[in-house]
Amino acid sequence: MRHRAAAVLSTALAVATTVLAGPAPARAAADGFDVTITELPARFTAGSQARTVTVVASAEPGQGCRKVRWSMLLGVGDVGLDEVQVDRVEEDGSFPLQVQTSGATARLTDVQLDPGRLCPGRTVTARYQVAFTDGAREGRVTFQAQAFDADARLLEEASASSRVVGGAAEASPSPTPSESADAAEEEDAAEDGAAGGDEASTPPPAAGDDLAANPASSEGGVPSLLGPGLVIGAVLVFLGVGLLLRLRLRLRAAKAPMRTTAYPTR
């Protein structure tokens, strides 16, 4: 049991020492190798899902096969290291990273050598899932990918940059009530135009007009009150004449002498 605990502690110390040391810096890259950032979003949106950053290493003919250890220098500028999330991924899941930070820069180095093998005609690929937390500050971020061999010798490196934008900047502003009303009127006008074909559409009534009192004519002419007015006038005249005749009959009945009829008593 003591030997097992000692082994675990030794492994932890070895990892911690590697984290502090990191890959040895190289003054110049080796000849015959190439590193390219093949996939990088033009911008990251704060609070959105992680985006993929892909780096590919290749070897020229004549170079022998070798294992590769990837290291990524991430410069966040004004964004803040606490607002970025990076996950190195392989086909079977996450790949462990050693992290070193210095100011606004973080170095992310593979704990293990890449599963692939770099040979002429065979590439090695590193993929990173990068996301920025909701509310992250806007700014430019820089990715500097470096490929080292098993002896920590720099083979080649490549750099590229992208931008971080706020989530509010991506969302379109909500329309105001007046804009919504204007849009609705425009849609109604478009529908009326499509239904009417080449016929001229009837202009909308002015504010305060009663739509029910101004029905449009069948030929699209100016609305008229003549028809309804004649009908209502005729009804009123008819009612007035009837009322006068009724009153006259009542007056005649009141002036006529009352006739009495005598019935025999025997």
| pLDDT, tens digit, 9 for 90 and up, residues 166-221 | 865 444 444 544 554 555 555 555 555 544 444 444 444 444 444 333 443 444 44
Phi, psi of 15 (to 5 degrees): -65, -45
Q: Does residue 37 fall inside a structural domain?
A: yes
Q: Are 60 and 121 in contact (CB under 8 A)?
A: no
pLDDT digits (tens, 9 = 90+) for 219-261: 444 445 556 666 777 767 667 767 777 666 666 655 555 444 4
Percent of the chain with pLDDT over 90: 48
Q: Does residue 124 fall inside a structural domain?
A: yes
Q: Does residue 26 fall inside a structural domain?
A: yes
Q: What is the pLDDT of residue 249?
A: 64
Q: Which domain holds residue 161?
A: 2-167
Mean pLDDT, range 69-73, rounded to an integer = 97
Q: Does residue 81 fall inside a structural domain?
A: yes
User: What is the rounded CA–CA span in Å between residue 249 and residue 6?
Assistant: 129
Phi, psi of 30 (to 5 degrees): -75, 155
Q: In which band, very low, low, confident or very high, does the pLDDT at 132 lie, cut at 50, 70 and 90?
A: very high
Q: Does residue 39 fall inside a structural domain?
A: yes
**Is residue 31 scored above 70 in pLDDT?**
yes
Q: Does residue 198 fall inside a structural domain?
A: no
CATH code at position 120? 2.60.40.2550
User: What is the rounded CA–CA span in Å between residue 99 and residue 181?
Assistant: 55
Q: Does residue 157 fall inside a structural domain?
A: yes
How many distinct structural domains can be found in the chain? 1
> Which pair of tokens denotes residue 16?
């911690």
> Which pair of tokens denotes residue 37?
């950032």
Q: Does residue 42 fall inside a structural domain?
A: yes
pTM exceeding the 0.85 threshold for the entire prediction: no
